[in-house]
A and B are shown apart, each in its own frame.
Chain A
Amino acid sequence: MMLENRQVKLIDENGIRVDGRRPDELRPVKIEVGVLDNSDGSAYVEMGRTKIYAAVFGPKEVYPKHLEQPDRAILNCRYHMASFSVDERKPLGMTRREIELSKVIRQALETVVFLEEYPRTMIDIFVEVIQADGGTRTAGITAASLALADAGIAMSDLIAGVAVGKVEGRLVLDINDLEDKYGEADMPVAILPRLNSIVLFQLNGRMTLEEVKQALAMAREGINKIYQLQVEALKRRYSVNQIDEGQ
């Protein structure tokens, strides 16, 4: 196979990764809130070359009507990769992978949103990957939780996520596409930074129990850094656009 012929050196002798990072270093993160005018809430997250928009619509009437819950809201989540987001054009429509990721993102978000505050409604969440370079599900959750907060929806905490990988026997934080493809393991984690509970945890590949524990500790550190940027982005958004207090 082609892949086996390709010799990729993912970590050099000095412990520096393919894109010049140290093993415990995040990619440059850029977060903005309130970027899409026609949505009720939106956010943009950039982690290195991974670029993601998230938009929230609602709470609103439930369609189709039979899904309506008398005591709570339902979340409707769509994770989608744009055709041009990957090297080889991705066909339009939802693939198996996208359907699965929509589900895990929805389940992560359901743990924070106070659904019972909005009975008989539905909240639409769209996560659109504009450019994919690894770690899209975790960046997608990071963006989606900000978009929900921007929409003014009651929630217990923000969510931040990051993926830890294992390449050439070493644990590395925030893996990119190359490290994901040619590495030995990929472990996306999403955590509620304030309440400190894990809402998404997946593992592809092999890691020992000790490595999982160590990877989780690395993820926590990365997540705390991302969380600071999330809070900053939210506050920045509203300090320029102060609201009326007369209500």
Chain B
Amino acid sequence: MYYFSDKEIVVPGQLLTDDPSKSGPGTYVYNGKVYAAQAGLAKLRNGVITIIPVKSPYKPEPGDWVIGVVVDVKPNSVEVDLGGYNFAVIRYSEQMQPPQNVKIGDVVYARVKSSGLKGVLLDADDLRKIEEGIIISISPAHIPRLIGRKGSMINMIKRETGCSITVGRNGLIVVSGPTSEGEFTAISAIRLIASEAHSAGLTDRVAALLKRSKERVSGNDAGEQAG
């Protein structure tokens, strides 16, 4: 017996079901009954009730690729701000230099090694320093939409604007391209995706935006040449 309809907005404390084995992420069991622990959309997923929170900060999972800003360099660790609950840590031996010789304020692209009670650990081996570009920040919940099915959305933006775009699972994105117009277009497209992530037909609208910008840019070039 379920006491909610699919994709219903639930509030903390709302009774969801009497069957404690159905308790999934975002719910809790009290006196053999399942209640909502977070405000969000309730859904049955893989046989358990899952709550998709309306907003929540980034929760690191091992294997995620993230972008972060170095906030502190210590004798055997580097602290990185991912915009999550805690700073992530990169450990290295005291006899060595920090990986990639990172300094405070540097932006790094790294893989999450582990995440748990001891904090978030980033992998030092495949760490990459990001040298240039524009950082923008969107909600981590919108990242899957930005990437699209098998990367279709992000590849389209890359192709149409000629920019290289590094996407962190934590919601930070670095855009870097040969022209400022291209960068501007890419950022507008990303902002559009972030603001309309929930709506259908988004791919077409992004394609239209990219096309419009392209025409405008080539129009300007022609005008300059004529003048």
Contact = CB atoms under 8 A, between A and B. Distances in A.
A, B bound: yes
Nearest to A71: B117
Interface stretch (B11-19, B94-102, B159-167, B172-180): B11-19
Contacts, number: 106
Contact of A119 (B43, B55, B117, B142): B117
Contacts of B11: 149, 158, 230-231, 234-235
Interface in B170-227: 197-198
A238 to B, nearest CB: 5
B21 interface: no
Contact of B54 (A152, A157, A192, A194): A152
Nearest to B118: A70
Contacts of A132: none
A70 B117 CA distance: 7
Interface in A150-176: 150-158
A239 B9 contact: yes
A60 interface: yes
Interface residues of B, number: 34
B52 interface: yes
A247 B40 contact: no
Contact of A121 (B13, B85, B145): B85
Interface of A is mostly: loop
Interface stretch (B30-38, B103-111, B124-132): B30-38
B201 to A, nearest CB: 14
A193 interface: yes
Given A154-B26, A246-B145, A194 B37 contact: no
24 contacts: A60-B85, A61-B87, A70-B117, A114-B37, A120-B119, A149-B11, A150-B39, A152-B56, A154-B12, A156-B12, A156-B28, A156-B30, A158-B11, A158-B13, A195-B13, A241-B54, A242-B41, A242-B198, A243-B41, A243-B141, A244-B144, A245-B41, A245-B43, A247-B52
Given A154-B12, A156-B13, A235-B9, 7 more contacts: A59-B57, A150-B39, A152-B55, A244-B141, A244-B145, A245-B41, A245-B43
